[in-house]
């Protein structure tokens, strides 16, 4: 066995180095700046919206998006229970109360029917819902054909957490464009990375202006320092934006490599009873992460068995997200659950999915998978 095969490896090279060096030599190493402005325009174009605000992380983007929707004390934000903690944490940062909702079994994304029932009940109880958050899990867009009418009927803004979904589409529309606001993450493990960073995108000029204002310590546009709101130091570095611009030029190539890897996983597991690729079959998915769900009663083995086998072969794996309603920090919060998220957490394993996976490591990875399946077959 040679080196460890990680779930993700950043995919950066000479192009990113050249963009970063150019920005460094420009004499603008601080926040914002020409690279940030250009990166914002390019991301807005990719997401099919008019405005984008670069920020320091995907979590900061979520926080600002919710603040712009009016989330705060005395309000509720509806959050999918199957997600990374940042989605729920952002609601708490505003002072709002998160209420969790369960998943569609095919994709793990929020279940539109459960959401509709929940919004009806909250309205009947006189609860003010500041926003519904959706998450495009593993890079597969949520079912916006159904989610948008549900939110529109309830009069509640939709915030799309597209942290994992840059470059994905749903019915031909790009990720990030489906809500009143959308957010992206450029953390080291995302489809493209600036090492750390994020962006809020929207078609609404007023919402974009509010996010930008709050991201710059809420400084008023006067020569001295004047503040009428509590703001945040959330601006995106000009240097990191330059890296993002280089990554964006390689986005389609990197997505294609992830799709080819997903296709190979799908072909392998198609012949294994009791297994399925979560969210497989969506041609618009960017395949950010491939997770395999296993029914142990049919397969004769569980996701944990596969994970431990691969760990002994130097391959990193991980279960899907532990549902937020099971997290001790959110104990006591309301949740509408059917057991889908619990089952996906207990019965799934996520496999190496990065676009920088070498051919040699891919062969070693699939040899380890085939060895396990032959032993269990």
pLDDT, tens digit, 9 for 90 and up, residues 280-298: 999 999 999 999 999 999 9
Q: Specify whether the CB–CB gap between 202 and 60 falls below 8 A.
A: no
* Contact residues for 113 (Cβ-Cβ < 8 A; gap 6+): none
* Contact residues for 17 (Cβ-Cβ < 8 A; gap 6+): none
- Indicate the pTM of the whole model: 0.97
Q: Judging by DSSP bridges, how do beta strands 181-185 and 158-161 pair with one another?
A: parallel
- C-alpha–C-alpha distance, residues 10 and 91, integer Å: 29
Distances 44 to 37, 39, 210 between C-alpha atoms, Å: 11, 8, 17
Q: Specify whether the CB–CB gap between 112 and 144 falls below 8 A.
A: no
Residue 30 confidence (pLDDT): 83
Q: Which two tokens stand for residue 244?
A: 């993002």
What tens digit of pLDDT does each residue of 103-121 get?
A: 999 999 999 999 999 999 9
Instruction: Give which of 128, 133, 131, 101 is closest to 117, Cα–Cα.
Output: 101
Write down how long the chain is: 377
Task: Quickly tell me which residue has 């198609």 as its tokens.
Answer: 270
Mean pLDDT of successive 10-residue stretches along the chain, which has 377 residues: 86 97 92 94 98 98 98 98 98 98 97 98 98 98 98 98 98 98 97 97 98 97 95 97 98 97 97 96 97 98 98 97 98 96 98 96 97 92
How many Å is the Cα radius of gyration of the chain? 21
Residue 360 confidence (pLDDT): 96
| Three-state secondary structure string covering the chain | CCCCECCCCCCCCHHHHHHHHHHHHCCCCCECCHHHHHHHHHHHHHHCCCEEEEECCHHHHHHHHHHHCCCCCCCEEEEECCCCHHHHHHHHHHCCEEEEECECCCCCCECHHHHHHHHHHHHHCCCCEEEEEEECHHHCCCCHHHHHHHHHHHCCCEEEECCCCCCCEECCEECCCCCCEEEEECCCCCCCCCCCCEEEEECCHHHHHHHHHHHECCECCCCCCCECCCCCECECEHHHHHHHHHHHHCHHHHHHHHHHHHHHHHHHHCCCCCEEECCCCCCCCCCCCEEEEECHHHHCCCHHHHHHHHHHCCECCECCCCCHHHCHHHCCCCEECCCHHHHHHHHEEEECCCCCCCHHHHHHHHHHHHHHHHHHC
Q: Which two tokens stand for residue 349?
A: 């394993």
Q: Specify whether the CB–CB gap between 112 and 143 falls below 8 A.
A: yes
Residue 3 confidence (pLDDT): 87
């Amino acid at each position: 066995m040679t080196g460890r095969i990680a779930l993700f490896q950043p995919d950066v090279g000479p192009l990113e180095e050249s963009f970063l060096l150019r920005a460094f030599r420009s004499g603008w190493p601080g926040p914002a700046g020409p690279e940030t402005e250009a990166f914002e325009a390019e991301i807005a174009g990719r997401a099919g919206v008019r405005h984008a605000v670069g920020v320091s992380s995907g979590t900061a983007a979520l926080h600002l998006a919710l603040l712009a929707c009016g989330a705060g004390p005395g309000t509720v934000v509806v959050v999918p229970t199957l997600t990374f903690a940042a989605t729920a944490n952002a609601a708490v940062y505003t002072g709002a109360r998160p209420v969790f909702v369960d998943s569609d079994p095919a994709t793990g994304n929020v279940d539109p029917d459960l959401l509709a029932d929940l919004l009806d009940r909250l309205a009947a109880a006189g609860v003010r819902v500041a926003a519904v958050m959706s998450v495009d899990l593993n890079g597969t867009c949520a079912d916006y054909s159904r989610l948008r009418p549900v939110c529109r009927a309830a009069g509640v803004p939709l915030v799309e957490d597209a942290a994992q979904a840059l470059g994905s589409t749903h019915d031909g529309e790009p990720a990030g464009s489906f809500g009143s606001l959308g957010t992206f993450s450029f953390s080291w493990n995302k489809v493209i990375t600036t090492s750390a960073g994020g962006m809020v995108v929207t078609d609404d000029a007023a919402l974009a202006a509010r996010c930008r204002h709050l991201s710059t310590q809420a400084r008023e546009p006067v020569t001295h320092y004047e503040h009428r709101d509590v703001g945040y130091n959330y601006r995106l570095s000009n240097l990191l934006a330059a890296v993002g611009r280089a990554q964006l030029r390689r986005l389609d190539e990197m997505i294609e490599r992830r799709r080819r890897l997903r296709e190979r996983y799908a072909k392998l597991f198609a012949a294994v009873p009791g297994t399925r690729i979560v969210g497989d079959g969506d041609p618009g998915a960017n395949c950010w992460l491939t997770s395999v769900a296993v029914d142990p009663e049919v397969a004769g083995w569980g996701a944990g068995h596969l994970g431990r086998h691969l760990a002994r072969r130097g391959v990193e794996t991980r279960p899907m997200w532990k549902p937020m309603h099971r997290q001790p920090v959110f104990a006591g919060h309301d949740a509408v659950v059917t057991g889908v998220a619990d089952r996906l957490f207990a019965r799934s394993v996520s496999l190496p999915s990065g676009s920088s996976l070498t051919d040699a490591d891919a062969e070693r990875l699939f040899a380890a998978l085939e060895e396990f399946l032959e032993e269990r077959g």
